[in-house]
Every structure is written in structure tokens, then in C-alpha cells.
Amino acid sequence: MSFFTSLSGLQAAQTDMSTISHNLANVQTNGFKKSTTQFADVIASTANMNPSQMVGSGVVVKAVRQQFGQGGFTQSSSALDVAISGDGFFIVKGDEKSGNGVSYTRNGSFQVDADRYVVDAQGNKLQVYPVDGSGAVVATGLSSTVSLRLPQTSGTPEETENVKLGLNLNAGSAIPSDNVKFDDTEYKFDRFDPTTYNQSVQTTVYDANGNALTLTNYFVRETKPAGTDATSTWKVYSFVGDQQLNAGDDPNTMKQIELTFDSTGKLSDPTTPITFMGFLAPGATSEQVLKLDLTAGTTQVSSPFSLNSTSQDGSPVGQIEGVTIGDDGTVTASFSNGDTQALGKVVLASFTNNAGLRQLGNSTWAATGFSGDARLGEPGTNGFGGLMSGAIERSNVDITEELVNLIAAQRNFQANAKALDTASQMSQTIFNIRS
């Protein structure tokens, strides 16, 4: 009988060493939870046996139980790396093709796949509660969770209709026609020749599809104060891309904006915004009309040219620039046009008996009848832990503790091996006596 008793000890010690080795192998695995081997003694007895005569028959492995204690945190530069500080599991879901259902994990190292879903390393999609525009949850329960997907754009493009410029034109500026070519008796402006104009100002405007266009205004001095006439005049040549804009109302005659300043440098004309005739933006099917307002803050004083203010009322579609996950689990996307959008709220799950969860590998678990059904909630509420964005939970394995346990398991194995050897020698002695 001592053979089998020692053999049971060897088998139990071997299981213990395998468990410890598994822990040590995963000391760097994010979200990993260590396991411990639990043993139970074996007693061969009957109901009428005298307790004082009972002899043990060895040991069995009662359970290999996981320990779900909190692991340490590692800081990360990724906004999609998130750790749970406290109780709870992330909920992830595989796609129909993979056949993977709902599973649970503490490994919050997520990334974006080719379809813009937020997934773990195995491609399982992070589940969130749907939210409204203010970030409030609109549906709860496991059946209401949705896979977190990042949008590409946000907002509706707005066509530019009004452009405002406030600038100062140097009162000491020369008249370009004194230094440039003439075509017969008419001054010849050439936007590619900077000697034919004094200053230029570029403004980004947008067409109906949100495409960026460049509006360039070229300022050309026409006259200086002379004699009793203390006024100064300028012309403004306006282009969108390569298309010149007509400031008049006759499509057959190209007209420029004419600016008149009084002796104090104040703009006396025009006094209202100038409306250009419609132009066709590249790829557009209808004409776009722009108004240029130079009446607010445009002056002509004896100081260098300066652009003091500029604005326009168009906007492009916003391209996604970043994602943040708040302590409460709210996922917010930011866009290039200044928009922000709440995409969902990370939902956590907890269980009555974490040790009853079935290990799936890759630091994920599945619910079982032993664990109980998942209880869902929002981070930081009803006993659930809060979230830490830019952090990852490490393994909860203490390498020093496991090495000590490994030595103890090894000694246990050696002791049982020695007991088995001793039992063998005793049996051999008995055989020798009989022979």
C-alpha cells in the first residue's frame, strides 16, 4: 500500500510543479492570474472502523484554483491601453466567423483592426453600452452591448459663404505700375509676378463637400494722395485656386474690388461686404457664392503690412484624431474640425465566484455554472473598479514567491521518491527472506 501512497505524493507534487512552472512562464503576460494547487488527504475507512486504527492512503489534487488578486500596473503611451483598478472584467466578443462567443478578460491592451473595431490581440471586439450625444447610457444588459467601432469622420461639411479680413496696408507702399510692364496703356497684373502687386493674403475656404480651397487676395496700390485729393485707392484681385473671382455683376467683364482710404487711413469705400459672382469649385455641380468683408479693421497707416484678423464660416468634415477612455468608461473621439463624440461606455462584468470561471487562454475566461451569471455595470459604480487609461495590468505572479514554492514542491517530490525507494527496498528484503 505504501507504493501507492508514495505514488500519489509524486503525482501531486508533479501537478504542483507544473502549476508553479505555468505561473513563472506567464510572469510577463498582461492580465494573467496565477494558480495554486490545493490538496486533500485520502483515508480508507468504513463506518464501523475504529478511528484510532485508520491509516492514510495518500493525497489527491483537490483543485487548481486561480487567484484573481490585483496585478500591478505598467504605464503605456496608448490611449486604448486601459486597466481596471478594482473588481471587474472587460467583456469581449468574437465574430460569427470565428465561432467565439462572449468572454471576459483583465487584459486591457486593445488596438484598432482594419474595420476600425477596438479589439484585443485575438481579434475579439471590446463591448460597450450605447450612449446618446451627451454620453448618457441608453440601454443596459448583455444583449444591449455593442462592439466599439471608431468613426472616420464627424459632422456635416459647411460651404463657405462669408470671409472676413482685417488688415493694415502700409501708407508708404509704392505703386507697382511705376516698376512693371504695360500692355499698351493698360496696367498688366500678373499674380505669378510679385512685382505687380504689393501684398497677398491666403485664406482657406470650403466647398459644399468640405473640400479645402485656397482664396488668395492680391492687393495692388493704384493711387497716392495728390494735391487736394487726400485719398488713396487700391485694387484687390481675388482668386480661388486658378479661378479669378468677379466682383461685378457682368459675367463678360471682370471687375476687381476697389478700396478707398481717406486722409486718416480709414476705409471709406466699400462700407459693406462685396459679393462675388458664383464660381464652380472642382468636382462641384453647382456654383458657390462668396462674400468678402474688408470693412472691419482694414486700415492704411504708416506701419508695415499686417493681417490682424481673418475668419470664414465654412467647415470641413472632421477626421478622427484621437480617442480617450475616461475613468468612468466613457469613450470619446476627437476630430480635426474640433468636434468631439461620445462613442460608448465600457461595460464591466463581475461574478459571484471568479474561481469558477473557465480558462480559455490568452488571459480570457468564460462563464460557467460554477461562476454564476455575469453581473454587468459601469466602471466606478456598484462595486466595480474604475478605469485607468494609458495603463495595463500586469500578471499578479510574484516571481520570488513562486521560486520558493517551486523549491518546496521539488523537496516534496524528492521526499515521496525517497519513500517509494524505501518501500521498494523493504519489499526486496522480504523477497530475499523467502528465497
For the chain, give every domain's residue range. 2-69+396-434, 73-154+319-393, 162-312
Identify the pLDDT of residue 5: 74
pLDDT digit string, tens, across residues 158-204: 999 999 999 999 999 999 877 655 445 566 899 999 999 999 999 99
Query: Is 331 in contact with 343 (CB distance < 8 Å)?
Result: yes
Query: Is 282 in contact with 241 (CB distance < 8 Å)?
Result: yes
Which residue numbers in the chain have pLDDT < 70?
1-3, 6, 45-57, 96-100, 179-187, 419-431, 434-435
Query: Is 220 in contact with 195 (CB distance < 8 Å)?
Result: no
Beta bridge pairs of residue 131:
137
Identify the pLDDT of residue 206: 95
| CA 9/CA 40 separation, integer angstroms | 11
Supply φ then ψ for residue 269, to 5 degrees. -160, 130
CATH homologous superfamily, domain 162-312:
Flagellar hook protein FlgE (2.60.98.20)
Identify the pLDDT of residue 266: 96
Query: Nearest Cα to 291, choosing from 278, 305, 309?
Result: 278
Supply φ then ψ for residue 332, to 5 degrees. -125, 130
| CA 121/CA 107 separation, integer angstroms | 10
Beta bridge pairs of residue 364:
105, 361
Q: How are beta strands 306-312 and 73-75 bridged, if at all?
A: unpaired
Supply φ then ψ for residue 365, to 5 degrees. -135, 160
- Which cell numbers in the block locate residue 157? 461639411
Identify the pLDDT of residue 433: 73
Predicted model pTM = 0.70
Identify the pLDDT of residue 431: 66
- Which cell numbers in the block locate residue 303? 506701419
- Which cell numbers in the block locate residue 78? 496608448
